[in-house]
Structure 1
């Protein structure tokens, strides 16, 4: 589907959109900081607050470490660029992210990576295994979508959405990479950080050729529920269990994208 610049608007973003842009730019820089980027490829998107058919995504051609709040591109579900941007958008990124944003209105942010460990686990017939604490966060909560080639065909969106389902927050694209969905940018990023770590540990374990010490099924589910509740990390009086870690993670970024809209 072609991405066209139509309906460009000179209307300044709302305060809610500015805040979303700042968080999304921070997520891009954090992905680069943790080595989860892939040159100019892969993508993170965030729904424009107050809309169901518009989202922000990276300008195609910038390294993740160089993405800023103001350089993010606003597009709609038809692939039309809505703001006055000199950039275009990765067509594969549009295919994946438009599919998720159109079907999962609970997902404010969608994050996709091609890391060595993530692609390795996505290429294993066994998929993600419940062999470590990070992996147990995703116990029976990760879903899979079969590889169909580079995601350039709009028809794939229907099949991807069917595999994702109505509630999953972690999706493994077979032979391809990882996707996480968050109700906030911080949730999507922290889920991806933990999913990536789970994959790295699994690859390290499998490289030893030794048997894995088993975790009983009831403990797997208990651990997943503990992660979901957020009770072990939630700040007193803070409804967002990711807030404490997100604030700490932002200290990796210099300068912080959140300091001003123009950064």
Structure 2
């Protein structure tokens, strides 16, 4: 059942334990962002590298909405865009391949890549100053976020070189006039970074809409806070992920276990 995709019965298809873990985590991320309303129908995408075959990654089938993605129907492609273990009807979003293959090819630390077109993320991507250091959430990325200028729909494979050059070693990017992207060691890290990046963007849009002067902390406080995120807390996703999966599976609710 799609509702239990994160803890779905083991596939009858032949895959390793580490690939199955990547599949269940990635399917859970699709359900998470569907539940949070952070979708663009069928047009955004998340991917996960398969740890024991690092030149292969998983991505959503083109034409399915997020809530329809399961561990079994994720499509496996190689770094050149060839379908691996091709099944009838399998296809992927060409723009999704451009973006995800660029990062997976250039960044061997990229276990997962998430790219979304959220309302707040797209709004901030259109603002000349980008993400402002005005909330605790946004300060996670103080001087630690990349930007990539808009070149049109990402169908030109030549854009990959420029995209990864702009990304550099960062784990978060705002694609101007387009949306948000996060890169993680694994799916939980990329997903939690995306959640809080969207929160920071929503808070910025709300603060700017108030029509009152904004308070920006001193630069030294901004840098101190960013370093606290890096050193005083576990890596994003380490503490949150299993709880989120239980929430998605309906085994916990606002009042505790059911």
Provide TM-score, normalisation by structure 2. Answer: 0.89
Aligned positions of 1:85-234 closer than 5 A: 85=87, 86-165=89-168, 167-229=169-231, 231-232=232-233, 234=234
Which structure has more relative contact order (CA 8 Å, sep 6+)? It is 1
**Runs of 4 or more off by more than 4 Å in structure 1?**
none
Residues 52 and 102 of structure 1 are in contact (CA less than 8 Å); yes or no, is this contact kept in structure 2?
no
Report the Cα offset of residue 11 of structure 1.
7.1
1:48 aligns with 2:43: no
Residues 30 and 252 of structure 1 are in contact (CA less than 8 Å); yes or no, is this contact kept in structure 2?
no
What's the secondary structure of 1:110's corresponding residue?
Answer: strand
Residues 56 and 74 of structure 1 are in contact (CA less than 8 Å); yes or no, is this contact kept in structure 2?
yes
Q: Distance in 1 between matches of 2:33 and 2:171?
A: 18
Match in the other structure for 1:247: 242
Runs (5+) with no aligned partner, structure 1? 1-9, 235-239, 257-263
Report the Cα offset of residue 251 of structure 1.
2.4
Deviations 1:39-81 (A, max 9, x none): 0111000001123321000001111011000100000111100
What's the secondary structure of 1:243's corresponding residue?
Answer: coil
Q: Distance in 2 between matches of 1:159 and 1:244?
A: 34
Match in the other structure for 2:4: none
Moved more, 49-58 or 154-163: 49-58
Q: Distance in 2 between matches of 1:121 and 1:19?
A: 34
Residues 33 and 252 of structure 1 are in contact (CA less than 8 Å); yes or no, is this contact kept in structure 2?
no
Runs (5+) with no aligned partner, structure 2? 1-11, 252-258
Deviations 1:204-252 (A, max 9, x none): 00001111112111111111111112x34x4xxxxx6622211111123
Match in the other structure for 2:3: none
Residues 48 and 112 of structure 2 are in contact (CA less than 8 Å); yes or no, is this contact kept in structure 1?
yes
Residues 191 and 237 of structure 2 are in contact (CA less than 8 Å); yes or no, is this contact kept in structure 1?
no
